[in-house]
Amino acid sequence: MHHLTIRELGPIRELDMDVSDFTVLTGPQASGKTTIAKAIYLFRSVKEDVLELLGMEQSQSDFNVLLRQMFLRKFQGLFGDTHSEKMRIRYMYDDDNQIEIQSKCVKKSIVQPVWLTAFNAHVHWPTVVSHQTFFIPAGRTVSTQLASSLAFILAKLSDEQKSQLDYATRTYLEKILEHQYSFRHGWAGLDDLAEDKATLDAAKQLGARILGGEYQYLKWQGEYIILPDGKEIQIHLASSGQQEAVWVLNFLYRALAKDEKTFFIIEEPESHLFPEAQNDMMQFVSLIKNAGHQMLITTHSPYVLASVNNLLYAHQVGQKKPEETRKIIGEKLWLNPKTFAGLHVCNGKPENAMDAETQLFRNELIDGVSAKINGEFDALLELNYTGVD
């Protein structure tokens, strides 16, 4: 299991965590969830950089220099230029392979990350990092609205202007452009690539519920959601919830259909969705995870935590009463607590969000806000009727 250690990176003061097959990060805004997600993305995506360099003829020393340069450029693209002098990050792939960086003060008030690792070019990467890694950022509405113009916009940007875009966001936009055409026949156009038709059908049903229709890309015309009555809605005219969800669903469905094992890092998959659709989204994510993919999500939503609890509990109950449990929640959606982790990120030191006994998210993380709101309402109600006969 991979392991991440962070000291003094952005809002994160101290972190030691195993990277599980499915991880949920929750907590207040600006608490460091994205910092953790980007750090994992940075280290896992080194695999693609290594494989690119292995295609070139070069010495071991040249390999290390080029890989270090690529890594530090990506670090800057994800985290910027301002860092604590105490920053230190280590990512353990296994007992024999790790990457570690720390900050170094190069001149007054200027601190830069320094690579501490001489990496072996002959590491067997399919073993060390079995899945490709893909980051789906928050704020997807704007990119969806501009999807038909993305190629033109990116082509017009200078290299310096492109460097101002967050690295993860820029890569996400480029992936949309790369894969749009594969959806020219909608999701059904990918079905022939897959062997597990039952899982594909379940994913299509959940996806249609979330979107309220089916996605299709029409060349020269753009992206559409096809409603059940056949009406076509251009994606830039769709609801904000549909715009936020559509490429989360597309990328996950494509990986499922093509059996491209992927570690997905998804920021706020529930964004702009009604609570019922949030539940459907988490079932969709769990379905893809159980087909052999890996997930890390960030969330602010108690509905997401409650949905995940149901799927974790279904696995536990299903070990005792499988037939009855399947009638409530399909087995393909169950989440195994042994391969799941939940962290509550607050005050710079993430803590375990799971109850040790139940192996579910702690109740206060789900009901805490409701209790506060209800308490305020009860106080107002009492005040309103005080002194009334």
Mean predicted confidence (pLDDT) in 23-27: 96
Question: Are 169 and 212 within one domain?
Answer: yes
- In the predicted structure, residue 61 carries a pLDDT above the cut 80: no
CA separation for the pair 112, 63 (Å, rounded): 21
- In the predicted structure, residue 333 carries a pLDDT above the cut 90: yes
Mean predicted confidence (pLDDT) in 302-317: 95
Mean predicted confidence (pLDDT) in 180-192: 86
Tell how strand 98-107 and strand 110-115 pair up.
antiparallel
CA separation for the pair 283, 270 (Å, rounded): 11
DSSP type of residue 374: H
Q: Which helix (H) or strand (E) holds 343?
A: strand 340-344
Q: pTM (2 decimals)?
A: 0.90
CA separation for the pair 137, 89 (Å, rounded): 22
Question: Are 76 and 121 within one domain?
Answer: yes
Question: Are 113 and 185 within one domain?
Answer: no
Q: CATH number of the domain that 51 lies in? A: 3.40.50.300
Question: Are 379 and 283 within one domain?
Answer: yes
- How far apart, in Å, are the Cα atoms of 101 and each of 34, 86, 128, 193, 349? 19, 11, 19, 41, 20
Question: Are 191 and 314 within one domain?
Answer: no
Question: Are 387 and 275 within one domain?
Answer: yes
* Number of domains within the chain: 2
Interior angle at CA 304, CA 11 and CA 168, nearest 5: 45
Q: What is the pLDDT of residue 120?
A: 55
Q: What is the pLDDT of residue 204?
A: 94
For the chain, how big is the Rg over CA atoms in Å?
A: 23
Question: Are 170 and 96 within one domain?
Answer: no
Question: Are 256 and 208 within one domain?
Answer: yes
Handedness of CA 215, 217, 221, 223 (dihedral sign): positive
- In the predicted structure, residue 252 carries a pLDDT above the cut 70: yes
Mean predicted confidence (pLDDT) in 42-59: 80
**61-70, 100-109, 207-216, 247-256 — which is least confidently predicted?**
100-109
- Residue-averaged pLDDT of the chain: 87
Instruction: Kindly indicate the confidence band of residue 160, based on its pLDDT and cuts at 50, 70 and 90.
Output: low
CA separation for the pair 118, 110 (Å, rounded): 24
Other Cβ atoms less than 10 A from the Cβ of 161: the count is: 10
Q: Which domain holds residue 177?
A: 139-260
Q: Find tokens 């009463």 and name the residue.
A: 321
Q: What is the pLDDT of residue 103?
A: 82
CA separation for the pair 153, 71 (Å, rounded): 26
Residue at a domain's end among 243, 260, 277: 260
Other Cβ atoms less than 10 A from the Cβ of 376: the count is: 10
Residue 221, both tokens: 């015309």
Question: Are 91 and 146 within one domain?
Answer: no
Q: Find tokens 């990457």 and name the residue.
A: 99
CA separation for the pair 309, 366 (Å, rounded): 10
Question: Are 176 and 98 within one domain?
Answer: no
Q: Find tokens 């005050």 and name the residue.
A: 347
Residue at a domain's end among 209, 227, 260: 260
Q: What is the pLDDT of residue 381?
A: 83
Residue at a domain's end among 209, 242, 260: 260
Closest CA to 298 of 139, 159, 192, 184: 139
Question: Are 173 and 229 within one domain?
Answer: yes
Contacts of 71 (CB under 8 A, 6+ apart): 42, 46, 49, 99, 115
Question: Are 126 and 274 within one domain?
Answer: yes
Percent over 90 (pLDDT), the chain: 51
Q: What is the pLDDT of residue 155?
A: 66
Q: What is the pLDDT of residue 367?
A: 79
CA separation for the pair 242, 144 (Å, rounded): 9
